[in-house]
Each structure stands twice: as structure tokens, then as C-alpha cells.
Amino acid sequence: MKNLNKKKLIIPTSLKPVILYRINGVQEIEIKVKPGVKAEVLILNNFQKPRIESFLKINIKLYQNSKLNFVEGISGGQVIETRSVVKLLGSGAECQVTNMFQGNKNEQHVFQILIDHQSPNTKANVLVKAVYKNHASGKFQSLIKVGQKAKKTNSYYQDEVLLLDSAKAISSPTLEILTDDVKASHGSSVSRINRDQVYYLASRGLDFEQARECITAGFFTSVIARLPKAFCQPFLFKE
Amino acid sequence: MAKTRSHKDLSLTNELDYQYISKPGISENLIREISAYKQEPSWMLAKRLQAFKIFKSKPTPTWGANLSGINYKKIRYFLRPIDKVAGSWSEVPKKIRETYQKIGIPQAERKFLAGVVAQYESMAVYQSLQKQLEKQGVIFLDMDTGFKKHPELVKKYLGTVVPTADNKFSALNTAVWSGGSLVYIPKGVKVDIPLQAYFRINAKQVGQFERTLIIAEAGSQAHYVEGCTAPVYAADSLHAGVVEIIIKPGARLRYTTVQNWSKNVYNLVTKRAFVYEDGIMEWVDGNLGSKTTMKYPSIYLLGTGAKGSVLSIALAGAGQHQDVGTKIIHGAPNTSSSVVSKSISKESGRTSYRGLIKIPKNVKNCTASVVCDALLLNKNSRTDTYPKMEVYEADSGVTHEATVGQIGADQLFYLKSRGISENEARNIIVQGFIEPIVKELPLEYAIELNRLIKLEMSGLVG
């Protein structure tokens, strides 16, 4: 905890997207979105060195009628942990969280999110997409909590993990719903590459490696569709 | 040891003279007494005593439902209502027959059932086996008789699927077990008629510790049905059963349970099946009663091509917590599993789904899917979903889906526009919600389940 990096971000008015970078070590970010504000936050890593260990804690508080589009893109690093808490405190608050992971070699990713609906008419939508190669692994844990006062809540969590080679993943999407008149659901899938898709591409003359690359790139399109235009640049594939 | 003791202090709905009633509380002496009473061989007594030590050493689990209300000292661990296991229906005591008639079994039983092992209190009181089954070599006995007649079978398989030290309640069950069923289906035999066991608890603070062992030899097929009902009492009761199932290559077994314990029973059951090459195991599970249920029917797919499926439905009313789920371990390549879990919470009821799907390293080409649907009926109802998917092999596919919702306003509106009252409309929607599971039940159980849910739903104003 020596190089603890704390950052407070209070978003008072609707601004241009905010981009934050992850560092090697422990980091804490607090984001408060004031009533009625529409905010966009992007967290990226530009890990140049190998063997980066990064632990990030994010506390997000959303007040009345505020909106947040939160995006995190992670690739590389040795151990990358993200623990986020999203509190929907004011009625009408909305949050869209998008996370994208790419792991190679022995990389380990841990992702934890708590969506806490405390007020009525709140909305949350979480999408997590990950591709792991070689011996990489990912652990995804989520909890959607709907309190007794949070009527008319609409909450959705989805994680999709694509495993290649000897990669592995653990997914545990959980729900705790304490009242009726809500919509809450989650979906989770951990799977290999679709063989029919590989077959189709192979029939068009692509070899297995090429087909795999195509499918992996296509896998992320649903993430890119959720990004504001300003965010798209960093996600373009360099390979 | 007095053989007949009266117990007027127990406010039973039907008064019975029990031949043997143990004192409340558990001790080494009690276990020796049970074992001596049942004239068991010494290895079983040793097993029981060892299990008791494990039971004492393990803490009550705190990760799930609240179990702090269990008072082990107040529970009676052994009871038997009649001396001998009856051979025919007319030999079953009148009072017990009356209670069964209230639940409505006899007619159904006579027409459809192969044999009934009805567990009234802690021991089987009635059992009949069709001659046809006997000819096929099928063993369908209550566990106590089964143990006496086929000790080698019990010795070979008991505790191989659910080890004594698996959890606190499996240890307790091993220490004080009585009753349950022993089912053995020989190689290649197909049993067309469902094998039914019907049991209930009917005395204050009676623990039911039934032990069921089912062995399906290669290529065999059967359907085992278990149902539980119990009248209402004041004090808390405990039911800690253990069910062990072994499915040999190519065999197929379905195990159906409709559980309707009275609303003060702690229902903590360990159910597990080992499935070998190309075998199929299906759990169909209905949880309606009890104060707290913790039940996670598990399937270990241990042979290539084995399949497992779990269909479950839970209904939690005021003060009830149904903590149910499933555990599926894919221990061999090319195995597949599917789970469909539906739950309904009303008033202050709480339902939880807790599940694990595990695909270990190097177990290739396995697929698993889980679907959980929850329906909330009142604003203080609660539902939780705690699934976990552990995938250590990339060559596999695991999916999970869960939804939580309430009765749709538009659905209600549509039905009401057709002249159906609100209550009736709600009933129809709930019945439709659980239909995928009800249609898998044997006819008389489906009728009973529908009747029970209707009963639970009546008087409910949204």
C-alpha cells in the first residue's frame, strides 16, 4: 500500500470524456456525478513494462438523474485487479459500464463489481467481454443489489468470455433482489471459439489462425458499439 | 429398554403409541442404543460413532441460510411408529392410514405404483413390491429392511458418493440414520412404473434422517419418486437426509421430489449422483414447504458422454427461505449438463439459487447451461442468485442466464379483459411460470403440486 494513488473526481457539469490511466501499484479512484450531469469516463492502461501488478478500486456515486458511461479497457499486465462499487443514490440515475479484457501468456485479471440500486427508477447495464489466450485467466464477480426502496429498477449484467489455448475463467454473477416491481437479470457465458464459425471461414479459404483472429476481432464489436465516438480510437486493433 | 412408552405430552394430530421413542438430544449412548435396537453389525456402529465425532467437530455452516435456530439438544433423533414393516396396506395402522388419506395417496398408489415405502416418522411402515419387479431382480426396500437383507450391497456402496465428512449434516445423518430406501436395478432392466416413497414427519421435534441409496446397473432405467408432507407443529424440526445415487454405464435414472414439510422444519439434504459412461441422471425437485431448505442436488459426470439435468422449482411464503441450487462437476470429456431453476417468492419469503458448474483442466468438449427465473409477488419478497462457473478447460462451453421479474401488468390486463378475476389471473400466470417443470412430474404429483400452489396463492392480494 506504499504507493497508494488516490484520486477524487467530482463531475459537476457535463464535460468532454475523462480519460484516466492505470499505474503499477495500488490506485483508488472516486467518481461523483452530480445531479443531472451526463458524464463519460474511460480507464485505460498503457503498460509498457512486463510484470505490471495493478490494483484499482473505483467508487462511483451517481446522484439524481445523472448518467455515466464508464469504460475500461485492459490488456496485458501480470496481475490486474479492478474492484468497482457503483452506487445509484439518486432516483433516475443511470449507469452503463463496459469492460473489455484481453489476456495473453500468464496474465491474470480479476474483475469485481457491485451495482447498488438504492433509489427508484435507476438503471444499470454492465457488459464485460474478455478473450484469453495461452495460460491467461480471468475471474469475474458481480453483484446486483436492489434495495427495498429501489422500485422500477432495471438492471442487467452480462459477461462473455472467450477461451483459447489453455486459458481459464471463473464467472460468478450474483443477484440480490429485495423488492418486486423490478427487472433484473444477468447472463454469463464462458466458451471456446464457435466451431461452425471456424468451419465457415475455413470453407472460404482462411486457415485456423486467420479464422481465429477474425472471430476474436468480431467478438469485441458489441463493446465498440457501446462506446462514444471519442473513445473508439484506443480500441482499434494494432496487431 | 422399555418397548412401549406413551408420550402424552406430544400434541399430535393423531395420537400414536410408539414402540420406541428416544429421548431428545444426541449422545454416543443414543447411537449405541439405535444400533443395538436395529441389531446392526459392528462395522455400522463403528461408522456411526465415527460420524458422530465428525458431526461434533464441524461447525454449522454460515455461508447460506440462517441455521442458528436449530437446537440439536431438543431434537428427537429416533422414532418408529410400528414394530414391523407391513406387508400389505391393510396391515398399516389405521391412524397412519387416515393421515395418508388426508394427503390423498392410497387411490393413486393402488392404481399406478409399483410399491410404496411410506416413511411415517423414522421408519418405513408400509411397503409393497409388485411381483413383476421381484422377478426382474429389482430391489426396492426401505433402508432398514434392505440393510438386513442385503448388507453386502449397503457395505459396498454406502458413503461412497456422499462421504461421512462431506458436511456437518451428512455426518449427522450417518450417525443416526434410519429409514430411507434401498433401490437396486440389475443390469439392463427397465422399470416402467415409478418407484415411490412417501414420507412425512408427524411428531414434535422429530428429526428425519433418512438414507437413500440407489444403484442403477449398466443399461438399466428407472424413475424414483419421493414426496414429503407434514402437518403443522409448534417447535422447530430438523430433516437431514442423504441420498446417494450410482449410475453405471448407459443407465438412466430420474429422481423426483416434491417437498412440502411443515413451515417449521429445517430441511438440510445432501443429494448426489455419480454418473458413468453414457449414463443419464435427472433430478426433478419441487420445494414448497419447510422453514429453511438448503438443498443442492449434485451430479458428478465421471464417464465420457454422461449427461445430467436438474429441474427445480421453489416457492417461499412468509418467513420461508428456500436456499436451493445445484452442483455439477464435469469429471470426464464429452459430458453435458443443463439446469433449469424457477422460484417464486411471496410475502416475506426468500428464494436463493446457489450453484456451481466446474470443468476441470483437460476435460475437453463439455457443455453446460443454467437458466434461473425468479418471480416476485410482493414488495417485501426477496430473491438471490449466486451462481459460479469455474472453467479451467478452454475447449468447453458454459452459459448462465438469470432473470428476476414480477407478474406483468400487461399479462394481468389481458386476462382481466377476458373476464378473469385478478386472483384467478395471477394464479394462471404463476401456473404458466412453473409449467415447464410441472409437466415433467408424474400425473398425480403434477396435480398435487398445482393444488398446493393454488392453495398457497389463495388470498394473496398483490
Domain-wise residue ranges, chain A: 4-192
Q: Which three cell numbers stand for residue A109?
A: 485479471
The model's confidence at residue A172, banded by pLDDT at 50, 70 and 90, is very high
Tell me the pLDDT tens digit for each residue of A32-68.
Answer: 898 988 888 888 877 767 778 889 999 999 999 999 9
Q: Which of B218, B297, B302 is nearest to B252 (CA)?
A: B218
Q: Residue B402 and residue A148: Cβ atoms within 8 Å?
A: no
Helix/strand/coil (H/E/C) assignment for every residue in A43-83:
EECCCCCCCCEEEEEEEEEECCCCEEEEEEEEECCCEEEEE
CB-CB under 8 Å, A168 with B392: yes
Other beta carbons less than 10 A from residue B68's beta carbon: 8
Cell (9 digits) for B127: 411397503
Residues from chain A that touch B374, judged by Cβ atoms under 8 A, are: 177
- Is the model's pLDDT at A196 over the cut of 70? yes
Instruction: Give residues with Cβ within 8 angstroms of B376, minimum separation 6.
Output: A177, A179, A180, A181, A182, B345, B382, B383, B404, B405, B406
Supply the pLDDT for residue B64: 84
* Residue among A132, A173, A183 whose CB faces B400 most closely: A173
Per-block mean pLDDT, blocks of 10 residues, chain B (462 long): 37 45 77 85 92 93 86 76 50 57 48 40 48 81 85 92 92 88 92 69 56 94 76 62 95 88 84 95 89 93 95 90 94 95 91 94 93 90 92 92 88 92 87 86 75 66 38
Q: Which residue of A has its CA nearest to B375?
A: A180
B-chain CB neighbours of A170 within 8 Å are 388-391
Compute the distance between CA of residue B208 and CA of residue B210 in angstroms, rounded to an integer.
6
What pLDDT, on the 0 to 100 scale, is given for residue B201?
Answer: 46
Name which of B209, B197, B224 is nearest B85 in CA terms.
B197
Say if pTM beats, i.e. exceeds, 0.90: no
In whole angstroms, give the CA distance from residue B77 to residue B326.
28
DSSP 8-state secondary structure symbol assigned to residue A1: -
The H or E element containing residue A229 is helix A229-232
Question: Higher confidence at residue A9 or residue A129?
Answer: A129
Q: What is the mean pLDDT of residues A181-186?
A: 90
Q: How far is the C-alpha of B39 from the C-alpha of B145, rounded, in Å?
A: 11
Check B389 against A176: CB less than 8 A apart. no
Contacts for B275 with CB less than 8 Å, ≥ 6 apart? B247, B281, B299, B300, B301, B302, B303, B306, B307, B308
Residues in B whose CB is inside 8 Å of some CB of A read 361, 374, 376-406
> What's at B415, amino acid-wise?
L
Among candidates B361, B377, B384 on the partner chain, residue whose Cβ is nearest the Cβ of A176: B384
Q: Which of A165, A180, A187 sits opposite B381 (nearest CB)?
A: A180
- pLDDT over 90 for what percent of chain A? 45
pLDDT in tens, A75-86: 878 888 999 999
Dihedral through CA B229, CA B235, CA B236, CA B237, nearest 10?
-50
In 3D space, the residue among A50, A53, A65 whose CA is nearest the CA of residue A14 turns out to be A65
Q: Which residue has the cell 468447453?
A: B396
Q: Are B176 and B205 a contacting pair, CB within 8 Å?
A: no
Give the pLDDT mean for A15-22: 79
Q: B388 vs A183: CB contact, 8 Å cut-off?
A: no
Please tell me the predicted confidence (pLDDT) of residue B101.
Answer: 58
**What's the ipTM?**
0.82
Looking at chain B, which residue has its C-alpha nearest residue A162? B394
Cα B149 from Cα B384, distance rounded (Å): 45
Q: Are the Cβ atoms of A170 and B406 closer than 8 angstroms?
A: no
Q: What are the tens digits of pLDDT across the range B170-218?
A: 999 999 888 788 899 999 999 887 887 654 444 443 457 889 999 999 9
| Chain mean position to CA B259 | 7
**Res A1: pLDDT:** 38
Separation between Cα atoms, residue B384 and residue B9, nearest integer Å: 40
Cα angle at B384 between B393 and A61, to 5 degrees? 95
| CB within 8 Å: B394 and A173 | no
User: Of A164, A173, A187, which has the smallest distance from its Cβ to B394's Cβ?
Assistant: A164
**If you average pLDDT over every residue of chain A, what do you get?**
86
SS (H, E, C) chain B: CCCCCCCCCCCCCCCCCCCEECCECCCHHHHHHHHHHCCCCHHHHHHHHHHHHHHHHCCCCCCCCCCCCCCHHHCECCEECCCCCECCHHHCCHHHHHHHHHHCCHHHHHHHCCCEEEEECCEEEECCCCHHHHHHCCEEEEHHHHHHHCHHHHHHHCCCCCCHHHCHHHHHHHHHCCCCEEEEECCCCECCCCEEEEEECCCCCECECCEEEEEECCCCEEEEEEEEECCCCCCCEEECCEEEEEECCCCEEEEEEEEECCCCEEEEEEEEEEECCCCEEEEEEEECCCCEEEECCEEEECCCCCEEEEEEEEEECCCCEEEEEEEEEECCCCCEEEEEEEEEECCCCEEEEEEEEEECCCCCCEEEEEEEEEEECCCCCEEEEEEEEEECCCCEEEEEEEEEEECCHHHHHHHHHCCCCHHHHHHHHHHHHHHHHHCCCCHHHHHHHHHHHHHHHCCCCC
Q: How far apart are CA A44 and CA A234, in angstroms?
A: 9
Distance from CA of B353 to the nearest CA of A (A): 9
Report the Cα–Cα distance between both ends of chain B, in Å, rounded.
56
Rounded to the nearest 10 degrees, what angle do helices B42-57 and B168-176 cross at? 150
Q: How far apart are CA B341 and CA A80, in angstroms?
A: 34
Angle, helix A208-219 to helix A195-203, in steps of 10 degrees: 120
pLDDT at B16: 45
How far is B251 from chain A, CA to nearest CA, in Å?
Answer: 29
* Number of CB pairs, chain A paired with chain B, less than 8 A apart: 114
Q: What is the pLDDT of residue B92?
A: 56
The Cα B452–Cα B450 span in angstroms is 5
Provide the shortest C-alpha distance from residue A141 to chain B (in Å).
9
| 8 A C-beta contact, residue B303 and residue B363 | no
